[in-house]
Structure 1
Amino acid sequence: MGRTTIGKSNAKIILIGEHSVVFGQPAIALPLPSVTTTVVMSQTTHGQTLSSRYFDGPIVQMGQNLAGVAALIQALLTRFDAQDTFFHIAITSDLPAERGMGSSAAVAVAITRAMYAYFQRPLTRDLLLATVDIAEKITHGNPSGLDAATASSDVPIWFVPHQETLQIPFTLQGYLVIADSGIKGQTGRAVAAVARRKTAFAQETNAQISRLGQLSTAARQALATPDLPQLGHILNDAQQQLAGLGVSSTELNHLTQVALTAGAFGAKLTGGGMGGCLIALCPDRVTTEHVKNSLLAAGATDTWTEAFNLEEEHQ
């Protein structure tokens, strides 16, 4: 039987700081260990092939939508002097695309881990992140590195653009519900809208961006304390600021209110906005189930649940 190795990664969500991070404010991203991407690399007798939900066939025939993945694989084969190796890479992922959960970074992290294991090379965290950047630059143009840092982490990431990317400890006891609004996020459009708003209404917009930065700092403290009700208040305040910036949507505004009515301590959009996902912070399993069911009844198309620092298994 030929050699087989496995690489894994996880989804991420922005807990707080989306959009303000574009202007130098801090953001916090959380890994979601229960929402995973797995890559299996297996030895074959001929060819270099890949299977995923988007493509199944020879790597050289992958389309533009997988150009980052193709470039990463070729770069690693060159790095290992293994261009003539025959193999199959199988990608399975629980992550939805274009929902702000770091799908492309998770794939790149899992591929890198699987290939380093396959060729039996040591892989440090710094090397992992630098390697994943090969794919992310092609996929996203100028990635911040936050997605890759969080997709490869098991603790939250504190991120300040061009300054620091830190894994931070946390003692949060609670549940986070992530709900898909059913509408693709529009990050580019949302970022452009905030930039225009910053020009047209500089004082108000700068105040909102500054407030979001303050809330990120407060959220870091609440995560470490931990103070679940306080974190909920912080998330609610952040949603108000994001709505004020014009990056929420009618659907997201409605669903966040549904979550709060169902018992969530706090709820806000996550990621680029104008669609995509929202998050809801819940104190216990009963409330979590009620919030999930209420969101689905109100139009959310899917939900995921992450249990933090609890002995109970992830749902």
Structure 2
Amino acid sequence: MKDKATGKSYAKIIWFGEHSVVYGQPAIAIPIYSVDVTATLKKIPSGQEIHCRYFDGPISEMADNLRGVKTLTNHLISLFGAQDLSFDLNIESKLPSERGMGSSAATAIAIVRAFFGFFEVNLTRIQLLKLADIEEKITHGNPSGLDSATASSNMPIWFVKNEINEQIDFNLPTSSLVIADSGIKGKTSEAVSLIHDNIVDEPETAKPLIEELGKIAVSAKDALATTDDERLGKLMNQSQRDLAQLGVSNQTLDTFCRVACDNRALGAKLTGSGLGGCVIALAKNQSDAQQISTALRSAGATQTWIQSFKNYQFSTGEAHDNLVR
């Protein structure tokens, strides 16, 4: 057992396949290293305390809005027989909530990594995702697992609900992704219901769009494998048109996409549920990424991040989680 240990995780962005993934189509999601969560667990003289942006105090007094974190933490305390251990759990997050970036999953991943690091126990990826799911089931009811899989990954995730959850290799050494926060909370339940109603009421229009979004994801996987960022940009624009036609974009997101493309983006689209949240734009190089970021902030983005792809790592057959510090 250590005196102190830290676990880290990352924001997730759905690059391709939002909404269509609900209907069995594939999706590609990526971890965003520049937007992270850090959980630090350390011994203290007495008590079991937790500190985060929503709560400061004893774990036993956490409110119901943090029931997922409380339940996960208590499960880990029992798992390691640490009921009598005095500790402080500090969670620092750069993720905005309700923006489709996987805040709850990233928090859960960081907490699990901190506990396993503290008790110096190896943590497999399968164990990590199973434990994170304790929190996610409370927070989201019936999570697909995409958020946790991506928040814990070193590489993009190729995901088909209830079928495939695997890391995929790619090489984009000079490209970057610009993420812009619209400042509008995403409306996940409203957007999901809207898509469902469209499929029921106008299946001749909605179903082909869902299928096309799945085909776009397949094409994007091929473009990633062949380092074809120009094609990726075109696929992003096509995806945005389909999502807008399905009704989950809005004027702000449409404007951000247009501004990005007017400022050298190869392509741009909303990410996540839509009706708010974030827009992502693909830049050819770092200079273009800076120009896109500045233009989006001038257009009203409350925050922007730039994610370079050059430091992404991948190791086939990775057995153990490698982000426990």
Distance 1:161 1:271 in 2: 16
2:61 pairs with 1:56: no
2:76 pairs with 1:76: yes
Q: Helix, strand or coil: the match of 1:264?
A: coil
Distance 1:158 1:73 in 2: 29
Amino acid at match of 1:58: P
Distance 1:117 1:297 in 2: 42
Q: Deviations over 1:264-309 (max 9, x none)?
A: 0000000010000000000012211111111111111100000112
Structural mapping, 1:225-264, within 5 Å: 225-264=226-265
Distance 1:120 1:182 in 2: 40
Q: Helix, strand or coil: the match of 1:7?
A: strand
Distance 1:72 1:153 in 2: 20
Q: Helix, strand or coil: the match of 1:257?
A: helix
Contact 1:106-1:148 at 8 Å conserved across structures: yes
Indicate the residue corresponding to 2:318 in structure 1.
Answer: none
Distance 2:204 2:47 in 1: 59
Residue ranges of structure 2 left out of the alignment (5+ in a row)? 313-325
Offset of residue 158 of structure 1: 0.3
Q: Deviations over 1:180-218 (max 9, x none)?
A: 011000011000000001011001100000000000000
2:289 pairs with 1:288: yes
TM-score (norm 2): 0.94
Distance 2:6 2:291 in 1: 36
Distance 1:107 1:199 in 2: 36
Offset of residue 85 of structure 1: 1.1
Indicate the residue corresponding to 1:209 in structure 2.
Answer: 210
Offset of residue 224 of structure 1: 1.1
2:192 pairs with 1:191: yes
Contact 1:172-1:224 at 8 Å conserved across structures: no
Amino acid at match of 1:181: S
Q: Helix, strand or coil: the match of 1:51?
A: strand
Distance 2:194 2:302 in 1: 26
Amino acid at match of 1:119: F
Distance 2:300 2:8 in 1: 31
Distance 1:65 1:281 in 2: 35
Amino acid at match of 1:251: T
Q: Helix, strand or coil: the match of 1:212?
A: helix
Amino acid at match of 2:258: Q
**Alpha-carbon RMSD:** 1.1
Structural mapping, 1:85-104, within 5 Å: 85-104=85-104
Indicate the residue corresponding to 2:148 in structure 1.
Answer: 148
Alpha-carbon distance change, 19 to 263 in structure 1, aligned in 2, over 3 angstroms? same
Q: Helix, strand or coil: the match of 1:210?
A: helix
Distance 1:290 1:82 in 2: 50
Q: Deviations over 1:162-187 (max 9, x none)?
A: 10100010112301000001100001
Alpha-carbon distance change, 310 to 162 in structure 1, aligned in 2, over 3 angstroms? closer
Indicate the residue corresponding to 2:274 in structure 1.
Answer: 273
Q: Helix, strand or coil: the match of 2:162?
A: coil
Distance 1:10 1:204 in 2: 36
Distance 1:35 1:258 in 2: 23
More deviation, 129-138/77-86: 77-86
Distance 1:158 1:222 in 2: 13
Offset of residue 310 of structure 1: 6.0
Q: Helix, strand or coil: the match of 1:304?
A: strand
Distance 2:261 2:215 in 1: 23
Distance 1:156 1:259 in 2: 23
Indicate the residue corresponding to 2:43 in structure 1.
Answer: 43
Amino acid at match of 2:228: D
2:99 pairs with 1:107: no
Q: Runs of 4 or more off by more than 4 Å in structure 1?
A: none
Amino acid at match of 1:258: V
Q: Percent same amino acid among aligned pairs?
A: 49
2:123 pairs with 1:123: yes
